[in-house]
Structure 1
């Protein structure tokens, strides 16, 4: 095996544990230093409301921006306009992955111009030239790991693209598992499955490293312990779900993902279907495609990583990748994850989906490059 060479990037201040959301007020007020805070949240004030009140009680001026639905270029532009008008100096994001992506994108763009100057694929992809506003992440769902990643996923037309920079890392990430209590089961499960895939793909990624391996193994154990029950009335389950999401975010930011996310990202823009459901629908067939690619182009290291999934997923030390795929297929069926046809995929989508996934940045970290035929077979098998 070649000598390891890798770099790690993540927020320098990560706070995890039940009740730690209360720290967001003091942290935000300290960083704001008397300046205005832009609070980015969703349609509900359930969790953001008490933090806003705490900041106002501390004498901090707070301006609120709502992020409803997937963040689009147009929506980000509106939030940035709000931030500039208020002369915000700190951004506090309280919500799910879309809210956090909106918060970090707004923090990046307040002093850096048009989103299209910096977006990948649909824009000019330019590096950010000016400083990014400090932002604080308080996730209220478990799945995306956006609180510890360095990119914001935005929708431009029918395409999901990233605003990417190491400067997008949160100044502080506060992960309180108790915020998961009371989440509706369907989005909770979809988020948990997104986190699961964000642990599996870094484990088999061609960019994996020893640190992300250790974190992904810990996160995968937590994820599988929480699923399929996902009962958030139990403190242990909440902690496992939140931990899996956090560790998955760190892993994907440092080892990349794979063809599952390459397909899910393109399909999400095409179909508007839940990202976690798409990831789960693609996962078994893409892993099968990886095994076929290994038969075509043997790679001992990739084979070893895929086979390592067997014991990790099944608990059987003799299991291989084939048994892992069978177990993951059973899990998705137990959780009643719809197939792609049920999510709106038709024959007319397949060519565009395959071509988009082959070009996607996530796909480049797949353990082996997949051919167009192998990618197409994976899509058809997922239908």
Structure 2
């Protein structure tokens, strides 16, 4: 690659990132200064969270547990906010997958204020800035995929409107992100593959993004090969080193997307996720190849430098055994061979495609896509991902 143009850019991330096996055990000590009353937002199936809650209580914290299931909705966020306000909590800790962390992040942002969450949502309301600084928030992920432990937004579902929207504010970055890959050990292969492909999509899209910077490019290129290789190893059985690598890819993707944005894959994913129950990572995985192919074709027509596309092709080719020139087109077949279901298992009505494409075109992620894709090209992308 030729040296990048060093245009001005900004860079933000979590206040502190702690990464490594066994590091979750230090979280109790690290959050001690931020207040005695703690709202612990958690899922229902993470056994480590039980021990963490006991350790928090024994350290002198007054712990209120708020359990959640599935992706966060407006009503779920409102319930968490109400619980936090009623107990007068001083900090929020979230232990779980990306959905749990998003719920905790939203609660931490809105507990100190007076208004309703609907006033602050992008794409659904007036998107008013937060009127009060968020509570200190700690994110402890138990899956490797979303990178939400180092982002400044929370994705919230509005089931009645069949959409997902974001609560976003630069002050919503977690004060502390503890990424302990041991918490992901033993995750089912279906979860590992889908979330791992989400992590990989989140280092590929920022790399191609119209908002990419030399710093985010360096982060993204440093982990692509390792991410694909980790999935290959985990397809053969449990592997701690591969879990470590995948957790690091997820963390890196979160940092990159928070600063460079995403692209058409996530532009589609927010809309499809609001209309179906398809897992977010699976949606991203199935759309990645067709979107890469469409963007590469647009770059060729525009006679742009193809170096970034070649880097991605080669990373996919090394993992899949495909020829580089077939990497984008053949990615879907590789995913099928790895056991990933088709998107058509959740979307079986082709008449929905025009409406999905129209909504996706307006999404915030689509604005960072390196090329503006025409409605008919978006439709062909979605059709080929089914």
TM-score, L = length of structure 2: 0.93
Alpha-carbon deviation of 1:14?
A: 0.3
1:228-270 deviations in whole A, cap 9, x for unaligned?
3426732201101100110011111111111011111111111
Identify which of 173, 185, 196 aligns with 1:192.
196
Partner-residue secondary structure (3-state), 2:382: helix
On the 8 A contact 2:95/2:139 being kept in 1, the answer is: yes
Match of 1:76 in 2: 77
* Aligned position for 2:98: 97
Q: Deviations over 1:162-216 (max 9, x none)?
A: 0001111001100000001121221121110110111111111111111111111
Report if aligned partners of 2:220, 2:253 keep a CA contact under 8 Å in 1.
yes
Separation (CA, whole Å) in 2 of partners of 1:92 and 1:357: 32
Q: Alpha-carbon deviation of 1:305?
A: 2.2
Give the conservation status (yes or no) of the 8 Å contact 1:137–1:174.
yes
Q: Which moved more, 1:275-284 or 1:213-222?
A: 213-222
Structure 2, unmatched stretches of 5+, are: none
CA drift of 1:306 comes to 1.9
- Indicate the residue corresponding to 2:288 in structure 1: 283
Match of 1:152 among 144, 151, 154: 154
On the 8 A contact 2:197/2:281 being kept in 1, the answer is: yes
Offset at residue 293 of structure 1 (A):
2.2
Instruction: Return closer, same or farther for 1:262/1:320 CA change in 2, 3 Å cut-off.
Output: farther
Change (3 A) 1:320 1:253: farther
* Alignment correspondent of 2:59: 58
Q: What is the alpha-carbon distance in structure 2 between the residues aligned to residue 219 and residue 148 of structure 1?
A: 17
Task: Tell me which residue corresponds to 1:5.
Answer: 8
| Structure 1 stretch displaced more, 195-204 or 232-241 | 232-241
Distance in 2 separating the partners of 1:128 and 1:299: 43
* Equivalent of residue 278 in structure 2, options 273, 276, 279: 273
Distance (Å, rounded) in 1 between the aligned partners of 2:312 and 2:46: 40
Specify the SS of the correspondent of 1:37: strand
**Among residues 259, 262, 268, which one is paired with 2:264 in the alignment?**
259
Q: Partner of 1:215 in structure 2?
A: 219
- 2:111 matches 1:110: yes
Give, in whole Å, the separation in 2 of the partners of 1:270 and 1:304.
Answer: 36
Q: Name which of 299, 313, 317 aligns with 1:314.
A: 317
Q: CA RMSD in A?
A: 1.8
Alpha-carbon separation, structure 2, partners of 1:199 and 1:326: 19
Alignment correspondent of 1:163: 167
Q: What residue in structure 2 maps to residue 126 of structure 1?
A: 128
Q: Write the distance in 1 (CA, Å) between the matches of 2:246 and 2:274.
A: 26
SS in 1 for 2:223: helix
SS of the aligned residue for 2:47 comes to coil
**Stretches of structure 1 lacking an aligned partner (at least 5 in a row):** none
Evaluate the alpha carbon distance shift between residue 247 and residue 381 of structure 1 in structure 2; reply closer, same or farther with a 3 A threshold: same
1:47 and 2:48 correspond? yes
Name the CA shift for 1:294/1:9 in 2 (closer, same or farther; >3 Å). same
Q: 2:243 matched to which residue of 1?
A: 238
Give me the whole-angstrom Cα distance separating, in 2, the residues matched to 1:42 and 1:189: 20
State the alpha-carbon separation in 2 of the partners of residues 105 and 345 from structure 1.
33
TM-score by length of 1: 0.94
Who is 2:207 aligned against?
203
Question: Matched residues in 2 for 1:349 and 1:326: separation?
Answer: 24
The count of residues paired between Structure 1 and Structure 2 equals 377
| Cα offset, 1:327, TM superposition | 5.3
Name 1:138's counterpart in structure 2: 140
CA deviation map 1:309-349 (0-9, x unaligned): 12333249xx9973431453343122222222222241121
Paired residue for 2:229, among 225, 228, 235? 225
